[in-house]
């Protein structure tokens, strides 16, 4: 028999997963990212198109409060 705390944890985990799933405006895998240009470590501009010409590109977005 599950304890009350275990049931609460399962409920919270399930609600979190549902909330993440309901985000309609999130980018979907395999969608094409909009074109952008950013400076590299030396300050030279690098565009997404330049990176794509070398092969597949993976964009990672970190969300943090630091």
Confidence (pLDDT) at 45: 95
Confidence (pLDDT) at 33: 86
Residues 11 and 22 sit within 8 Å (Cβ to Cβ): no
Q: What does the pLDDT look like over 9-48, one tens digit per residue?
A: 888 888 887 777 666 566 667 778 899 999 999 999 999 9
- Which of 28-34's residues contact partners 24+ apart within 8 Å by CB, and which partners? 33/57, 33/59
Confidence (pLDDT) at 27: 64
pTM of the model: 0.48
Count of helix runs (H) and strand runs (E) in the chain: 2, 2
Residues 47 and 35 sit within 8 Å (Cβ to Cβ): yes
Q: Which residues contact 39 (CB under 8 A, 6 or more apart)?
A: 45, 46
Confidence (pLDDT) at 19: 76
């Amino acid at each position: 028999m599950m304890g009350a705390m275990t049931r609460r944890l399962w409920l919270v985990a399930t609600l979190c997963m549902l909330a993440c799933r309901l985000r309609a405006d999130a980018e979907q895998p395999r969608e094409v990212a909009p074109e952008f240009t950013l400076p590299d470590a030396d300050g030279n501009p690098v565009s997404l198109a330049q990176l794509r010409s070398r092969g597949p590109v993976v964009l990672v977005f970190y969300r943090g409060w630091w």
